Amino acid sequence: MTAQVQIDQYQELMKRYNEIHHLGSIAQLLQWDQEVMMPREGGAQRAEQLAALQKVIHAHNTAPPIGEILATIDFNADWTDEQKADLREAKKTYDLATKVPADLVAEIARLEVLTTQSWVAARQSEEYDDFWPLFKSTLQRRREYADAIRGERCRYDALLDLYEPGETSANLRPLFAELRTQLRGILEKIQGSSHPTNPAALVTEYPEEKQRPFSEKVIQQMGYNLKAGRLDVSAHPFCTGTGGDVRITTRYNKNNFTEALFGCMHETGHALYEQGLNRERLPFPAGGAASLGIHESQSRMWENMIGRSEPFWEYFYPMLKEQFPTPFNNIAPDEFWRLINHVEKSFIRTEADEVTYNLHIIMRFEVEEQLLEDKLSIDDLPEYWNHQFQQDFGVTPTSLKQGCIQDIHWPAGIFGYFPTYALGNLYAAQFYNTMTQQLPVNELLSKGELLPIREWLREQIHQYGHTYAPGDLCKRVTGKPLSIQPMLSYLNEKYGKVYNFS
């Protein structure tokens, strides 16, 4: 086969994936509308719309011409790194799609809408009779999906690989075991501190109409392009979209301004990644993000390592005081910094501090493994969850909303995703450590100059999309494989200062 024929085949393959990309973007837009704008009674219709659309996408993914090209093209020809990655991802996508029946794909899409809509209603009413059967069906369909694609792997690894390519539960268990032990040690030092924090000083009324302008100021200074995005409200904050249409949501708490602000910074971290991808390559199989762990590293870095740092607030605290004279005129900047870094065992993952957050993730990893492998039934989930939570946190949830169904992921059928949050924290610490060696980060933050940080992330991470596997990208950026040590060093140094321990 001549070189020109190879190029023609590659171009035909990319043309097909261009169409698939745009169909996927339409699905994302429908899902955004579902969470933000859709009328309450639109759920059943939206479920059918997404089911139909996912069947169309599945048909495109399994089109015989794609299989024919992949069967004949020479993967070892003189391709660029980007082209090699495109062929790799195209083959993986095709191999997975051809193993799954179209009707199962449609049913999963349908259930995602119905179950998440029921989840929202159940959380509000705390009545779960309608939700629980849908939840069971959602889990069963995900088990069937995992069985279809797993091959020699366990179900959990088959789904985990969808979000964190190449990762396995066997790799995660010892990593998470050591991380859990080390985090408990840090937590013990904090609990034994004679220099405690009391965030009650921050509790007052923060009108939403005053919170939003401050959050918008921060995220625009981070470099989020609102001409190519939106900020809205949803039950569970998220980011969606690519290129010229990247949308984020947050939620406002009238008694706690940090929930919306740090939620905005978190989702903007995701949005900056999407806006920083090479737009010309977005429709290509390897044009998107490297993994959900790498994606999460961007959001957690901006939210915590930057947003909860002292230098960041040297610049933004006077603006915050101007927006909210009460209570901040009476709180010194150094005390404010300590208060926003308060550490406490809590029930809600999204409100957890940096020290306890990964403990939430590790527990979820263990629970969803049990669910997927048929070692735990959904009917036993609430009791099992409470038992595990008591072991890890020393407290017991008093409601399902406070316990096992607080997150949208499982109702949406997203199993195998949670480890990417912990991996994201680890990647974030390692990237941040490298960045501080190459940029005067603290000086930039103290002046409110955030764009050089965004540009460093674009140059080192964003622009490559999924050209490189997550672990390979980590080595390219930091020179080392992923490790828990940068995260532990960061936490010990920061919280040693907050709580005055060595």
* 388 touches 365 (CB < 8 A): no
Query: How many other CB atoms are there within 10 angstroms of residue 203's CB atom?
Result: 10
* Interatomic CA distance for residues 502 and 500, integer angstroms: 7
How would you list the strands of the sheet with 245-250, edge to edge? 229-233, 245-250, 239-242
Helix segments in 226-283, DSSP class H: 257-276
Concerning whether 164 is annotated as a catalytic residue, the answer is no
- The pair phi, psi for residue 340, each rounded to 5°, is -80, -5
* 197 touches 339 (CB < 8 A): yes
Nearest to 54 by CA among 27, 31, 90: 27
Nearest to 350 by CA among 299, 298, 280, 287: 299
Under DSSP, the state recorded for 153 is S
Residue 273 is which amino acid? Y
- DSSP for 387-441, written as a single string: HHHHHHHS---SSTTTTTTSSSTTTTT--S-THHHHHHHHHHHHHHHHHHHHS-H
Question: Which of the residues 89, 112, 267, 368 is marked catalytic?
Answer: 267
Beta-bridge partners for 250:
233
Q: Which long-range contacts (CB under 8 A, 24 or more apart) does 183-191 make?
A: 183/355, 183/356, 183/358, 183/359, 183/491, 184/359, 186/355, 186/488, 186/491, 186/492, 186/495, 187/343, 187/345, 187/355, 187/356, 189/495, 189/496, 189/499, 189/501, 190/343, 190/355, 190/495, 190/499, 190/501
* Residues marked as catalytic: 267
